[in-house]
Amino acid sequence: MAVDKVWNKLWIESDSIAVILAVKVLASFGREEVVLAESEITMAVVVPSVLLQFLVYTSFIVFVSLLCFGEKSFAYGRDEVSESIHQSTVHVIVVSTILPPKSCSSFTSFKDRRSIPLLKIVHRHSPCSGSFHPEGQKKRATTNQILSTEQILHQDQIRVESLHYKLSNKSKMSQEQSSKATVLPAKSGVSLGTGNYIVRVGFGTPKKYLSLMFDTGSDLTWIQFGYFGRETLTLTPRDVFNNFRFGCGQNNRGIFGKTAGLLGLGRNELSFVSQTSQKYGGRFSYCLPSSSSSVGYLAFGVDRSVSSTVKFTPMVIDSRGPSFYFLEIIEINVGDRKLEISASVFSFSGMIIDSGTVITRLPKTAYTSLQSAFQQLMSSYPSAKPLSILDTCYNFTDYDEVNIPKISMLFKGGVTLDLDPSGILIGASASQVCLAFAGNQDDKDVGILGNKQQQKLEVIYDVARSRLGFVPGI
């Protein structure tokens, strides 16, 4: 019996009436319709009708109020969240911090790690990228280099499609690729789908510093030149590698246009990681800039100051791409809720971690579950139109601060990745801020843990021991 019918039923008797409270009512609030069995409203106790009507009316008002509160408590509005929920399941963020910065912030000081070499990282489309102009050239204005959020997402999709194609065809192409391992294809940089973050590395004798994009999804280090060769590579005055093997390319266009080449950090024998393993032990780490207006670092070797605090998840070898860093994801949590996603969904697709992909890609089934849970908890905020590949967006124009549910990802080995707020939302403007996840076209497509979700973390690659760890970073 619906709520309005319950009230009519309680009001029938004119002289006397009796009511047995239905526990089922309270157990059911939060649903669209509360149902009571006819037998649960009986003539058990007789009391004067006026008094009873007053008691019933008062109880009914209280019940409806609780019902409405129960419905609202599922959304994270500014006034509905209790302090305990704030602390455990919600991030409170200032809207302006989500938006693209217009200037480069002051240099970020790193932890004291003088025992291992550090390279400064900047985002190549950020206001800070002007400091990485090619040696021998005047510092250029950066206004033409800074892309809009929509343009960055468009390039990101091109990269993801390239990775999916490469991985889906890996088995039949492996023999052909191995025979051409030292040949750099003369194609547009866009079609190669390279990454977002750049470092400065010295080549030659005397050394000349070049700006290179570092990429865990690529093996071969290359610069724009005329052939494949060997040369001296310099990271710091104490970190010099003679006869370093690298590739070359000419007239590389697209997203390589503003950089001199690429530093390949994959697992292949030609990668920088493999060629320097005798010195660094096959271990490197990075802490990406906390925003595109700041800087991060890329480090090589074992950092003794954090080794004992790191919890590692094993790297998985996958025949589709042995040089990629595959991880085994177990579950995803939104707020205080574990998403109901079958383990087979993640095991079927697999997942790689990639420094060059921006937005994390999930199997279609997993993304749908994440999207639904996030939308439910954000229902008190006005929605906005999709932004490129992102379809879960909000209009925060009228808000200075917003409450968003925390998101965490659990990996094999009990490693939990708690995402920073900067890894949950991405915004083009205050009127268009979106969930920074996207779904693959098919559940069989490989999932990708993108660099947006890696912000504010130090990601440690212990390639020699086939494991990866996350620790809080800058």
Active-site residue list? 215, 354
- As a whole number of angstroms, the distance between CA 397 and CA 32 comes to 31
222-241 as b/e: b if 16+ CB within 10 A: bbebeebeebebbbeeebeb
- Integer Rg of the chain from CA: 28
What's the sign of the alpha-carbon dihedral 278, 320, 298, 307? negative
- As a whole number of angstroms, the distance between CA 356 and CA 409 comes to 20
- As a whole number of angstroms, the distance between CA 454 and CA 345 comes to 22
- As a whole number of angstroms, the distance between CA 40 and CA 29 comes to 17
The three-state secondary structure class of 436 is coil
Angle at 181 between CA 177 and CA 182, to 5 degrees: 150
10 Å Cβ neighbour count for 187? Answer: 12
Q: Closest by alpha carbon to 468, among 358, 345, 329, 271?
A: 329
